[in-house]
Amino acid sequence: MKALIAGGAGFLGSHLTDKLLAAGNSVIVYDNLSSGSKGRICHNLKNPLFKFVQGDLLNFEDTAKAVRGCDMVFHMASNPDISRGITETDLDLRLGVLTLYNILESMRLADVGRIFFPSGSGVYGDVGLTSTDERFGPLLPVSLYGASKLACEALISAFCHMFDIQAWIGRLANIVGARQTHGVVLDFLKKLKRNASELKILGDGTQSKSYVHATDCVDAIMLIVNRSVGRVNTFNIAGPDCLDVTSIAKIVTGVMGLDNVRVRYSGGDRGWKGDVPRVRMDTSKIVTLGWKCSMTSSEAVERAARELLRELESL
């Protein structure tokens, strides 16, 4: 197929680009390079199946032009920094909902019938240790990022039902791996590169979530796209277990070969306002479809830490 990957020069988008090219698909990466970078896709530039178009999803004309003639769109562009929503309250609305609207409207006008959208656990809000499956309600997001994801899901559902579009929605756990620009693993690595004797952890360290490596995540995405045939196909994408932040700190210090790091906690039960300290997603639906996460959360975090450390050291 001919796939358009919006945000394909970003973290997860670039992994998906590699995956789709490896499977013999034609890929157009459409990215404004605001948080994406050419470094993540330059290894594909000589591939005849690959094309890069620099463009902004908030520009409707450019987006419509890029969408035309494609078989499927993967909307991987997003605000990469969830906590920024505290001060810039329109960020997730603009980069999430308005960019998605431009894509959906472009698809409608050009008769492009398939879209994948990466939603997130944020749609479930803060429900403690409740394990949420895809039918869970009520959905009360506690961050503007989570709200934007739910708003996008709603918009996708309406376009699918009104204009015969088919959609796959992955509600993602925390994704880690090479090429990340944000997130707890990279944050710890950077802090410890600056000061190897001390690590300050946001919250009390007991926040616990599922961590999935980007390579597992793109496998899961391709599985649901290839194997589910409904009009709107929504799947939780999470690993089999969870990991707390203090354990992540231990893995990262271990990968860096550091001893005697003094760990301090900022306190409180969460990293920032809008963070959800404990996330438990029920993965029965995707497991039934045949998915098996190849790594535990610890393994995913450890591999990501090694990859990101290598990247930091090559800068």
Interacting residue ranges for a copy of itself, rule: CB under 8 A: 85-86, 89-90, 93, 97-98, 101, 104-105, 108, 123, 125-126, 134-144, 146-148, 150-151, 154-155, 157-159, 161-162, 232, 234, 273-274
- To a copy of itself, the closest distance from the beta carbon of 157 in angstroms equals 4
Whether the CB-CB separation of 23 and 46 falls below 8 Å is answered with: no
Burial of 313 (0-12, 13-18, 19+ CB in 10 A): exposed
Nearer to a copy of itself, 47 or 83 (CB): 83
Which CB, 82 or 304, lies closer to a copy of itself? 82
Q: How far is the CB of 5 from a copy of itself (least distance, A)?
A: 23
The distance of closest approach from Cβ of residue 156 to a copy of itself in the complex, given in angstroms and rounded to an integer, is 8
**Minimal distance, residue 270 CB to a copy of itself, in Å:** 11
For the CB of residue 104, give the shortest distance to a copy of itself in the complex, in Å.
8
Strand 232-237 relative to strand 166-172, pairing: parallel
Spatial contact of 33 and 9, defined as CB atoms under 8 Å apart = yes
Q: Considering beta carbons, is residue 13 or 85 the nearer one to a copy of itself?
A: 85
Closest CB to a copy of itself among residues 53, 142: 142
Task: Give the CA distances from residue 197 to residues 190, 191, 258, 310, in Å, rounded to whole numbers and listed in that order.
Answer: 13, 10, 8, 20
| Strand, coil or helix: 212 | strand
- Longest C-alpha distance within the chain, in Å? 60
CA 246 to chain centre: 22
- Asked if 79 and 91 touch (Cβ cutoff 8 Å), the reply is yes
- Rounded to a whole number of angstroms, the minimum distance from the CB of residue 65 to a copy of itself is 18
Pairing of strands 208-209, 243-244: antiparallel
Q: Are 243 and 203 in contact (CB under 8 A)?
A: no
Task: Write down how long the chain is.
Answer: 315
Which of residues 97 and 304 has its CB atom nearest to a copy of itself in the complex? 97
Three-state DSSP class for residue 203? strand
Nearer to a copy of itself by C-beta: 106 or 215? 106
Alpha-carbon distance of 117 to 74, in angstroms, equals 6
The least CB distance from residue 16 to a copy of itself, in Å, is: 25
For residue 176, give the nearest of 191, 164, 161, 187 by alpha carbon. Answer: 187
In 3D space, the residue among 239, 227, 233, 224 whose CA is nearest the CA of residue 294 turns out to be 239
Token readout for 114 is 């398939």
Nearer to a copy of itself, 162 or 315 (CB): 162
The least CB distance from residue 277 to a copy of itself, in Å, is 13
> Within a 13 Å sphere around the CA of 248, how many CA atoms are in the beta-carbon half?
31
Beta carbon nearer to a copy of itself, 140 or 263: 140
When the beta carbons of 7 and 96 are compared against a copy of itself, the nearer one is 96
CB 248 → a copy of itself: shortest distance, Å? 25
